[in-house]
Every structure is written in structure tokens, then in C-alpha cells.
């Protein structure tokens, strides 16, 4: 038969049993939709995360103290930021120092209810280094850094129950009142800033008995020189004991988090494969019943000259067409679900070719596999035996 004739004959069997064909194709459509949606959402979320990382910059390095040979907590030298700033490719150096003080909304809060807030001394251009900005108010300056004035991270403000600051607003820090000057927006690369109450270094030393040693140093370097700068940071920070210095790159952790999503993707892809298997069984069931119901048609076609190959090809084509229809519907549903979800999250919609091409190919393969045995069975049927049911 010509391809056009074969397509017409194959579609005839499906058109005369529309409900059964639709239900069989539905199982395949659900499986393909699950596969396309999982791969599409994974690719879109990773693209969104990587775009966010690019916007925040991949050239941020953080320096924290490690441990001494004796297992004690090490300290970063007080002059470390100045020494790091002398490295040629370094563009910006800012730092914070953790104090032993706690912060509360008022002095009547129980001392154990710290809300996991930290009180840190902070340098004057810290928001610029960690790529955050002010949501309200103003940041510390040379004058307010010497006074009992604080700036709140985004989470710190929420935990203290402060949604909006007003003139004269105060919080209880280290056993005394500190005025609230501003609230920061979330710092995505440095979440430790979000849960911190930031005060100036002079104020921390004067009011909170701070020892002046920085505990985290934030370094922005020229992007192309980040690896080379990272190699010398430990020795520059603490020349005597470089092994007591930890250097990390926050953006690398976010990239790793994007890659780690593939572990969960495997689970959902497995569920999609199960749905495809169920759909394939539905196709096989439809084709077996079709062979039994259409014995008279098979016998009549054989008596009119159709060969076994023609019969086999007819039923196999019906199964492939059924799988292809289910695959196309599944790709459309998966793409629609991906588009809606990415639109809600303001991500770019990314559907990898592997998702739609692989889903459609799997649907066709399952249809062909499911229809192979019924097609062979139909081709082996003798004309006289088939016509007996007329």
C-alpha cells in the first residue's frame, strides 16, 4: 500500500472507536506530559538560577576563620582587609565581625529567645560588596557607625516584627537601646547578612565590647582573575598561618544546587515512565480487542487479495498512530504546564529538545511495541477462519 492509503486505513480503525482510542492515548499523554514538564521545569529553573547568579556576579569570594592546630577557633588579623585590598585584581573588600551581643525587640523579651539573630560589626560599603540594597531608611555612614545605630537584614527585621521603620525606632541590643536606621533587601549570595543586625565597628567596640577582629571578609575581584586571587587569599589574609583561613565562592554553591536538582528529577522521570508503561498496556489492550472485533474485516480483506504483510502493517500503523497522538498531546500538555509555572516564577521558559523529542519518540516506540504482537496475530489469521464470524 502507498503511505497515504496506509495512513487512511490506520486512522479508520481509530476513528470508528474514538472513545477507546482516546482513553488509550490518554495514558501515553500523561506519561509524556510528566516527562516534558519535569525536564522543562528543571531546565527553566536552572536557567533562572544561573541568570540570577550572573546578575549578582560570580566574582565574590568570602574569607572566614578556620581552626588552629590545637582545634580552637582561629581569628582573622585585624589588618587583613587592608592587606587583601593591595592585591591587584581585587576591586572591593568589605567585612563583618560577629559580636557576642544579642538583639531583641525590647528589653522584656526572655534572654533565651534570640530568634537566631546575630549582631555584627560591619564596614561602610558592605551592601555594595554583597550586591544588596536598602529596602527602607539609610545605611551606616562615618557618623552613625560611631553611635548606637543599627541596620537590619531582611530576615532580622521580619523576626523582630519590624515591617516599617519610623523616626526614633529602637531595638534592644547588648543590654542597651540602638536606633534603627534602615532595613536591607535580601542578600541572595550571602544569606548570613539577612539574619544579622549590623552596627558600625567603632560602635561595636564602644558599646558591645567587640574585639575588632573581622569574622567574614567579602572580596570582589576581576572576574577573569578570580581563580588566581583565590589561590593567594589565605596567605595574604594570615601570612603566618594560612591554614587557619577558609576561602569560598558563594556562587559555586548555588551552581551546585542547580545541578543537584537532577536527583529529584530522576524520581519524577521514573513516575513518568510508569505512566508511559501503563499507557502502552492500554494501547496493547486496545489493539488485541480490535483484532478480535475485526475478524470479519480481516477475513474480507484477505479474501480480496490483501497479504499478511498488509494486515500486519495496518494494525501496526494503528498502534503507532495511537502512540503518536498520545505523544503529541503529552508534549503539548507538558509544554503548557512548564510555560504557566515559569511565567508565575518570572523565569525564561526552556524546554530542552530531549524533552519533547524524547517524549514523542518514546510514545511512538511504545505504540509500536504494544501493537506488534496483535499485528502479527492478525496477519496469521486464516481468511476462512476470519470469515466464519461474518
CA distance linking residue 264 with residue 9, whole number of Å:
43
pLDDT exceeds cutoff 60 at 260: no
Mean pLDDT of 299-307: 72
Select the more confidently predicted residue: 53 or 80: 80
Alpha carbon distance, N-terminus to C-terminus of the chain: 25
Specify the DSSP class assigned to residue 307.
-
> Strand ranges (DSSP E) for the chain?
60-65, 90-98, 103-104, 118-122, 134-137, 149-152, 170-173, 176-184, 196-200, 216-221, 245-248
pLDDT exceeds cutoff 90 at 159: yes
Summarised one tens digit per residue, pLDDT across range 31-57 is 888 888 877 877 777 777 667 766 767
**92 class by beta-carbon count within 10 Å (0-12 exposed, 13-18 middle, 19+ buried):** middle
pLDDT exceeds cutoff 70 at 272: no
Tell me the pLDDT band of 19, cut-offs 50, 70 and 90: confident
pLDDT, residue 186, reads 93
Determine the length of the chain.
390
Specify the DSSP class assigned to residue 86.
T
* The pTM of the whole model exceeds 0.85: no
Phi, psi of 381 (to 5 degrees): -70, 130
Tell me the pLDDT band of 257, cut-offs 50, 70 and 90: low
3-state percent breakdown (helix, strand, coil) of the chain, nearest 5? 55, 15, 25
Select the more confidently predicted residue: 273 or 6: 273
Q: Which of 383, 88, 67, 111 is nearest to 228 (CA)?
A: 88
CA distance linking residue 382 with residue 380, whole number of Å:
6
Instruction: With beta carbons less than 8 A apart as the criterion, state whether 353 and 38 touch.
Output: no
Amino acid at each position: 500500500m502507498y503511505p497515504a492509503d496506509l495512513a487512511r486505513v490506520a486512522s479508520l480503525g481509530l476513528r470508528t472507536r474514538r472513545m477507546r482510542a482516546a482513553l488509550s492515548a490518554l495514558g501515553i499523554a500523561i506519561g509524556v506530559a510528566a516527562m516534558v514538564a519535569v525536564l522543562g521545569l528543571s531546565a527553566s529553573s536552572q536557567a533562572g538560577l544561573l541568570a540570577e547568579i550572573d546578575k549578582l556576579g560570580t566574582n565574590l569570594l568570602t574569607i572566614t576563620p578556620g581552626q588552629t592546630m590545637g582545634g580552637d577557633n582561629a581569628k582573622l588579623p585585624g589588618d587583613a582587609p587592608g592587606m587583601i585590598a593591595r592585591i591587584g585584581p581585587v576591586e572591593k573588600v568589605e567585612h563583618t565581625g560577629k559580636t557576642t551581643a544579642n538583639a531583641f525587640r525590647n528589653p522584656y523579651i526572655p534572654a533565651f529567645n534570640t530568634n537566631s539573630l546575630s549582631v555584627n560589626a560591619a564596614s561602610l560599603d558592605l551592601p555594595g560588596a554583597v550586591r544588596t540594597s536598602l529596602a527602607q531608611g539609610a545605611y551606616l555612614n562615618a557618623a552613625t557607625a560611631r553611635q548606637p545605630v543599627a541596620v537590619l537584614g531582611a530576615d532580622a527585621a521580619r523576626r523582630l516584627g519590624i515591617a516599617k521603620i519610623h523616626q526614633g525606632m529602637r531595638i534592644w541590643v547588648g543590654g542597651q537601646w540602638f536606633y534603627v536606621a534602615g532595613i536591607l533587601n535580601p542578600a541572595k549570595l550571602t544569606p548570613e547578612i539577612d539574619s544579622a543586625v549590623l552596627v558600625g565597628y567603632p560602635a561595636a567596640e564602644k558599646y558591645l565590647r567587640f574585639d575588632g577582629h573581622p569574622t567574614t571578609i567579602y572580596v570582589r575581584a576581576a572576574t577573569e582573575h578570580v581563580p588566581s586571587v583565590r589561590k593567594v587569599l589565605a596567605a595574604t589574609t594570615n601570612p603566618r598561618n594560612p591554614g587557619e583561613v577558609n576561602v569560598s565562592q558563594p556562587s559555586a554553591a548555588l551552581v551546585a544546587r542547580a545541578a543537584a536538582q537532577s536527583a529529584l528529577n530522576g524520581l519524577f522521570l521514573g513516575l513518568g515512565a510508569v505512566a508511559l508503561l501503563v499507557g502502552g498496556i492500554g494501547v496493547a489492550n486496545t489493539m488485541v480487542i480490535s483484532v478480535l472485533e475485526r475478524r470479519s474485516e480481516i477475513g474480507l480483506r484477505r479474501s480480496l487479495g490483501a497479504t499478511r504483510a498488509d494486515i500486519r502493517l495496518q494494525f501496526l500503523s494503528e498502534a503507532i498512530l495511537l502512540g503518536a497522538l498520545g505523544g503529541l498531546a503529552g508534549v503539548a500538555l507538558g509544554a503548557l504546564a512548564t510555560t504557566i509555572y515559569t511565567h508565575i516564577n518570572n523565569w525564561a521558559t526552556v524546554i530542552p529538545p530531549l524533552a519533547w523529542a524524547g517524549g514523542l519518540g518514546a510514545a511512538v516506540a511504545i505504540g509500536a511495541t504494544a501493537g506488534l504482537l496483535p499485528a502479527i496475530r492478525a496477519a496469521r489469521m486464516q481468511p476462512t477462519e476470519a470469515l466464519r464470524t461474518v
